[in-house]
Structures are given as structure tokens and as C-alpha cells.
Structure 1
């Protein structure tokens, strides 16, 4: 039965979404406050703040960085490199995944080689990226790209393998072209796999951006953490890590919003 209507007002809509969201946000804030409070107490009573700093000191440092403008400069440099690497890795990885799925024999031949490339530690390749692309933006973007593209390839390839074969065969009996099947059946089916790859790659992209800055840069959170460590500035190191954590949380929330838009059935469930 539909909800009862009130004259002149239309159907009555029950608001059941805001309360769980408010409850969840409240518990998250309470957990964060408890962790920070325990950290602050421990730094005063059990462990020298030289080793673990203090939340109050980190808050002061964040304020100083915000006033001086270095907070925005360093955060944006790291974030922009990660975004560009992801933006380049997504279409390239998706395209290669589709190509390998369409050419299974070719995929079987090249699989050991590209899996070998995937297994290479990127930090060992970092000096080569600096030599090839310099110490500017391009070397960081390419380092991030080299980290995230393989995750997109693997997820796209696995997602295409998981597509309902009966549905594909049905479309073939109806004489649908391979491109039509790819566009109308296979690509929509692998959206959850691509979203999952994006969630994984958020942290990987930030790692790649930070590593690139540590190898050679004059700004960015990786650069800031490195120079803070060289000065034995524990508060500076924890401040950089805290900003990276907040950045990753916001990045993941943005992906969650995109997921709700593309996959409304998951939000309803």
C-alpha cells in the first residue's frame, strides 16, 4: 500500500535515511575524539612526545601552515599529481583490459611479461623516472600511472570474464555486433569492478605521489615529510601523515558519491 495522503500536501514521505547517517557520523566523531584524547594523554604520561608528537602540537602546526599558505601549496601538489595519474591510468588500463579480454590467446602469451612488470617495485624505478622525465610534475604523474594502471587492467579483465555468458550468447544469437555487446552489456557489467579498482588506487596513487616527491621535489606532502624527518621534527612528519589521511578519506567519499550515482541499486540495498 502507498503512504496515506494529506489533502493539499501529496503523499507523506517517511524520512528514514537521515537518522542512521546522523548516528553513524556521531559514532565516527566520538571514535576520533577518543583516539585523539588517548594519544594526547599518552604523550604527556607514558611516551616522550619527541617520538609520537601530540594532537595539540599537530593542530598548531596545521594552523601555522594554513596561515602561511604552505598547507594548500603542499597538499594541492600531492593531490594534483595523484589525480592526473589516476585520470591517465583509468582509460589506459580499461582499454588494455578490454583488448586482452577480446584477444585471449594474445593475453595468454603476454601475461607473464606484464605481470612481471606489475610485480616490479616502483620505488626502484623512481630514479629512472627522474632521469627520463625530470624532477617536475611529469615524473610524479608517470610514477603514479605506473602504479595504478595495472590494477585497472586486472579489474577490467576479471570483470569482463565474470560477465554473464548466457546474456552475451543471447545477444550473439540476435546478431548483435561485438561492439554493441561491449557497449551495452559488458561495459555496464564491469562498472563495479572499476569502482573497486578506484577505491584501491586512491591509496596507491597517493603513495606514488609521495614517493615521487621524496625522490626529487621542492613542494608536496612527501617533500614536507622528508624534510621534517631530516630535521627530527616528529610533529611535522605526523602533520604530513594526518593531511594525507584526511585527503584519502575525502577522496574515498567522492568515489562513494560517484558509486551511488552509477549504481543506485547498491545505495538502495
Structure 2
């Protein structure tokens, strides 16, 4: 007779080192493709300006690089960058702090959620850009006005995502914990919160861009510094290079922030299998 365990012993162990090496090579390949794409687009832009279309309307990557270097050397860009990033970060953080418990409450109290759902969606559908003058009237042109503008852009993202995340929690897991007489606080810590972590991280990734939009809109309405103010001033002076420089810095901030959230997500959700 053959030993039933023999077949299991013949299975070679998983080569974790090889998997890590393959993943590392794949990551390097992705970054090389990204770099190649960026360089290719910049070269097309550089050689098209002045040939295929008027340079006045699009500037050039070389001119933008020179402007960025000059602003960095003088320190002006850091003053504007600090203002915009602070406003967007505080608005995003406040949106998470306020929106998460509201989303949990709406998921827990279904009857109340059905009552307030039309109002929540109605407020969510309001164009906050149109409300920007009211934020300036209510909060002035201080930091608070831009923070509240960013907050209004992201809070509903957290409310809706957290609510949906809790509603997708496996009910069998909840019933199992209840049969083991686990207290509600334990179920919240061990089941509910871990289940909504992916939804929270997704909210942060969505909210980064929205919070930057809120901060910039607030600066466009009333401010004396910030990337939005710099773009508005450059546009008023028909300085296309200045406009694209501000937009480039905003895009760079969004990319870096999203990459940070991605690294946190990969660290926190290491147990989740990677999608191919």
C-alpha cells in the first residue's frame, strides 16, 4: 500500500525568495514603463510647441522646468506649496474624522439612514464650487475657509464608502461572534473596523484629489498665497508658463500623496491576495 502522506511530502515547498525576486523585477519594470511614458509625453510636448501649435497657449516643458527651478531657488514655491498642502491635508483629515462615524451610524441605524438618504445625496450633489463665495463670507479668507472647502468636498466620500463597507460585512461572521457571546465592542474592533479599512483607504485615495480641488477653489476666491492663487495670478498676467508650473506642482503633490496611500494600503492589507 502507498502511504497517503507520501504524495504530500513530494510536493516541493514554495520558493518565497523567487517570488520576491519576481515581484521586485515586476515593480522595476512598471516604474521603467512609467518613466518612459513621462519622458515620451514631455518630448512630444517640447517639440510640438511652436511647430504644431502656438507656444503661447501651451508653453514648453523646458520653460516650466526653468520656472520651477527659479521658484524653488527663491523659496516662493515652498510658501505656496505649504499653504495648499496644509489646507488640503487638514480638510481631508477632518472629512475622515467626521465622515467615518456618520457612515458607521447610518449603517447601524437603517431606518434613520432611509430617512436622511435623500438629503445626504442632495447635499453631496451640490456643486461646492458654487458655494465657495459663501464659505468666504462665513469663514473669511483665512486658513479655515480653505479647510472647510476641502472638508465639504471629501466628507461625503467617507460617509458613503464607510456606510457601504459596513453593509458588506459578512453577517455569518457577526452571528458567529454573537454565538460566542462576544461583546459589541469586541465585534467592532475585530470584525467591523477591519472590514471597513479597505473602504477607508479607498476614500483617502479618492479624497486626495478632491481635497486639493477644494483648497485651490478656496484660494481662487480669496487668498494671498497658495498654488491656486499663484495659478490665478499667472493666468491674469497671461503667463502660460506660470499656469502650467502651478498645475504641474499640484499634479506632483497628488501623485506623491496617492503613492503614500498605496504603500500604506499594501502594508495594512498585506493579507489580501493581489489581483492580476
Q: 1:267 to 1:221 in 2, by over 3 A?
A: farther
Among 84, 91, 96, the alignment partner of 1:90 is 96
Q: How high is the TM-score relative to the length of structure 2? A: 0.91
Q: 1:2, CA displacement in angstroms?
A: 4.5
What is the CA–CA distance in structure 1 between the aligned matches of 2:22 and 2:116, rounded to whole Å? Answer: 52
* Runs of 4+ off more than 3 Å: 1-4, 266-269
Match of 2:135 in 1: 129
Among 60, 63, 68, the alignment partner of 1:62 is 68
Unaligned runs of 5+ in 2: 1-11
| Total equivalences in the alignment | 262
Match of 1:262 in 2: 268
What is the CA–CA distance in structure 2 between the aligned matches of 1:97 and 1:199, rounded to whole Å? Answer: 17
Match of 1:228 in 2: 234
Among 175, 179, 193, the alignment partner of 2:185 is 179
Q: What's the CA shift string for 1:242-268, capped at 9, x where partnerless?
A: 111111100000001110111012476
Match of 1:80 in 2: 86
- Aligned 1:32-181 pairs, distance under 5 A: 32-181=38-187
Q: Secondary structure at the match of 2:49?
A: helix
Q: 1:180, CA displacement in angstroms?
A: 2.1
What is the CA–CA distance in structure 2 between the aligned matches of 1:66 and 1:190, rounded to whole Å? Answer: 40
Answer yes or no: is the 8 Å Cα contact 1:260–1:267 preserved in 2: no
What is the CA–CA distance in structure 2 between the aligned matches of 1:103 and 1:257, rounded to whole Å? Answer: 34
What is the CA–CA distance in structure 2 between the aligned matches of 1:114 and 1:165, rounded to whole Å? Answer: 26
What is the CA–CA distance in structure 1 between the aligned matches of 2:247 and 2:103, rounded to whole Å? Answer: 34
What is the CA–CA distance in structure 2 between the aligned matches of 1:28 and 1:119, rounded to whole Å? Answer: 35
Among 239, 244, 259, the alignment partner of 2:245 is 239
Answer yes or no: is the 8 Å Cα contact 1:224–1:240 preserved in 2: yes
Q: 1:109, CA displacement in angstroms?
A: 1.0
Q: What's the CA shift string for 1:10-66, capped at 9, x where partnerless?
A: xx9443332222211111111111100000111031111101111011011101100
Unaligned runs of 5+ in 1: 5-11
What is the CA–CA distance in structure 2 between the aligned matches of 1:3 and 1:50, rounded to whole Å? Answer: 59
What is the CA–CA distance in structure 2 between the aligned matches of 1:236 and 1:3, rounded to whole Å? Answer: 54
Q: How high is the TM-score relative to the length of structure 1? A: 0.93
What is the CA–CA distance in structure 2 between the aligned matches of 1:111 and 1:267, rounded to whole Å? Answer: 34
CA RMSD of superposed structures (Å): 1.6
Q: 1:124, CA displacement in angstroms?
A: 1.4
What is the CA–CA distance in structure 2 between the aligned matches of 1:113 and 1:225, rounded to whole Å? Answer: 35
Match of 1:8 in 2: none
Match of 1:7 in 2: none
Q: 1:70, CA displacement in angstroms?
A: 1.0
